[in-house]
Amino acid sequence: MPDAASTQIVFLLFPGITQLDFTAPAQALSRMPGAKLAAAAASLDPIATDSGFSLVATHDFDTCPLADIVCVPGGHGVVDALGDAATIAFLKRQAASAQWVTSVCTGAFLLGRAGLLAGKRATTHWAYTHLLPLVGAEPAPGRVVEDGRVVTSGGVTSGLDFALTLIARLKGDAVAQAIQLAIEYDPAPPFAGGHPDRAPAAVTEGLKARVYDAAAARMAAALGG
């Protein structure tokens, strides 16, 4: 794709979204040559995030332009969004003509509810990967998993990896590397424990007991599993 080509990127917003699932890839993708970003929600009312502040969409479902890239962030609000017919209908409509269909974290389950992960290799937040077969997907390892035009990414911070991966596919490695440098994405976390494969077992089990066992059960119930 030539650098001058316009690429319409549409993010789906909903109450209870994890803001970094949206804002991290949006920051990287917005710097891609020719990128045009839109954030679509059921209305233009402020949308409560999980961080104590709200976001405002640029478009509602009826006025949003058709996407070349559609991206679905995650968050605990996915459970409610799974049952919202207008949200799922919008996603199906956008995906029908999109070049790329993508998700961050538990946004994968909204892709699945829309029928977009059937038979696809996919990933999501580590606490929910065992539920991917409920939407017809095959769980696959990795922070970013590509299967044809479908690109899914793991939890929260994986959204930056996804965005840079997709930029490289569209515009070449040099463009993606320049954007990575521009945003100084040079992670050097204080602990080597961002995934259960590396985190101390007591930390993982404690977090699951406090948050994710119940959260995964709610997701399973919403998916009918």
How far is residue 39's CA from residue 37's CA, in Å, rounded to a whole number? 7
Is residue 64 among the annotated active site residues?
Answer: no
How are beta strands 150-153 and 144-147 bridged, if at all? Answer: antiparallel
88 in a structural domain: yes
Domain interval for residue 58 = 7-189
Return the axis-axis angle of helices 158-171 and 173-182, rounded to nearest 10°. 140
Residue ranges, the chain, pLDDT below 70: 1-4
Out of 35, 57, 105, 127, pick the active-site residue. 105
Q: Which helix (H) or strand (E) holds 166?
A: helix 158-171
108 in a structural domain: yes
How far is residue 149's CA from residue 147's CA, in Å, rounded to a whole number? 6
Look at residue 150 and give its three-state secondary structure. Answer: strand
Answer for the pair 149, 101: CB distance below 8 angstroms, yes or no: yes
pLDDT tens, residue by residue, 117-143: 999 999 999 999 999 999 999 999 999
209 in a structural domain: no
Q: Which helix (H) or strand (E) holds 153?
A: strand 150-153
24 in a structural domain: yes
224 in a structural domain: no
Amino acid at 40: A
The pLDDT of residue 3? 46
CATH classification at residue 151: 3.40.50.880
The pLDDT of residue 2? 38
What is the reported pTM?
0.96
How many separate domains does the chain show?
A: 1
pLDDT tens, residue by residue, 69-92: 999 999 999 999 999 999 999 999
